[in-house]
Structure 1
Amino acid sequence: MPRRLLIVAHAPSPNTQALRDAVLRGARSPDVGGVEVVAKPPLEAGPDDVLAAHGIILGTPENLGYMSGALKDFFDRVYYPCLERTQGMPYALFVRAGHDGTGTCRAVAAITTGLRWRAVQEPLVCRGPAMAEFEARCEDLGLLMAAGLEAGIF
């Protein structure tokens, strides 16, 4: 049975859409087999999606020093149904930050710590004006997660 990677990313702007698409490209790389990639906006993803996943990538723009309301809504809906059933879930976070991303990362870390999820790397914070490097780093993030799931590392 293939491992499932869930990508939950709020992408309301062309910049965040490009980052989400880069994560998807990496996760769906032909170099990785045996991993099913499911991508949903936060308002469409729910507890059943998380429970069916073996790993998750979260994406959000920085909104007033916090995660997007849509990602917060996702966490509000999945927290208790998933709390006891997804401990140790490997996850990664990417943030499209207009400022420094600190508050956004802190807020997501507080919730994922409560869920007892396991970060597989430091949050990827894409700060400042849009750069091609951001997309390359997001593509690497998607590939890392998918390859880690395929290899059983995560």
Structure 2
Amino acid sequence: MAAMPTLLIVHHTPSPSMQAMLEAMLAGARDEAIEGVEVVVRPALAASAVDVLAADGYLLGTPVNIGYMSGALKHFFDQIYYPCLDATAGRPYALYVHGNSDTTGAIRGVETIATGLKWKRLREPLSIVGEVDATAREACWELGAMA
């Protein structure tokens, strides 16, 4: 029997906004209509190369800190980059970010590293600026369900 595909969600969730986004993502990813996918959730500072190598796809979440991805997500990439470089090439990923103003730098930073890893972007990054309202939570749910 083949192993169930695994979605690894790596997140840095230091704020109520990021928590609301993560909860909506998880609700989508774990929806009962979606069968046959194991969802593994790791904080960015705890996620390891072993987690990445064991997963079939990735959902990454970060706040925007001073115009860039969080230090925690950058640390995650620093830890897994070379151990996972060849073994994970071609795997799909998606990204969600939250910022109070501009999310461009954070998105560019993650996409640059993901390109170096040769990961394939599954869809446009989900960028939420300001309040995480019902529309934003719905978009997060959809991303979780789609990933």
Shorter-chain TM-score tier: over 0.9
Letter in 2 for 1:122: E
Percent of residue pairs identical: 52
Which residue pairs with 1:129 in the alignment? 131
Give the superposition deviation at 1:58. Answer: 0.1
CA contact (8 A) 2:64 2:98 kept: yes
Counterpart of 2:104 (choices 99, 102, 105) is: 102
SS at match of 1:99: coil
Amino acid in structure 1 at the alignment position of 2:140 = C
Q: Secondary structure at the match of 1:111?
A: helix
| Match status 1:50 vs 2:52 | yes
**Other-structure match for 1:74:** 76
Q: CA deviation at 1:89?
A: 1.1
Tell me whether 1:40 sits opposite 2:21 in the alignment. Answer: no
Q: Tell me, what secondary structure is at the counterpart of 1:45?
A: coil
Moved over 3 A (4+): none
- Give 1:98 shift: 1.1
TM-score (norm 2): 0.97
Quick one: distance in 1 between partners of 2:64 and 2:91? Answer: 23
Deviation, 1:14, is 1.1
Aligned partner letter, 1:143: A
> Does the Cα contact within 8 Å between 2:98 and 2:128 map onto a contact in 1?
yes
Alpha carbon RMSD of aligned pairs, Å?
Answer: 0.7
The Cα shift of 1:21 comes to 0.9
Name the aligned partner's letter for residue 89 of structure 2. Q
Structure 1 distance, partners of 2:132, 2:123, is 22
| Whole-angstrom CA distance in 1 between matches of 2:15 and 2:28 | 20
Please name the residue that 2:14 is paired with. 12
Match of 1:88 in 2: 90
Q: CA deviation at 1:130?
A: 2.7
Whichever residue aligns with residue 23 of structure 1, its letter is M
> Which whole-Å CA distance do the structure 1 matches of 2:66 and 2:36 have between them?
39
TM-score normalized by structure 1?
0.92
Structure 2 stretches of 5 or more lacking a match? none
SS in 2 for 1:96: strand
Gaps of 5+ in 1: 146-154
CA distance in structure 1 between the partners assigned to 2:15 and 2:99 by the alignment: 12
Instruction: Give, as a single letter, the amino acid of the residue that structure 1 aligns with 2:124.
Output: E
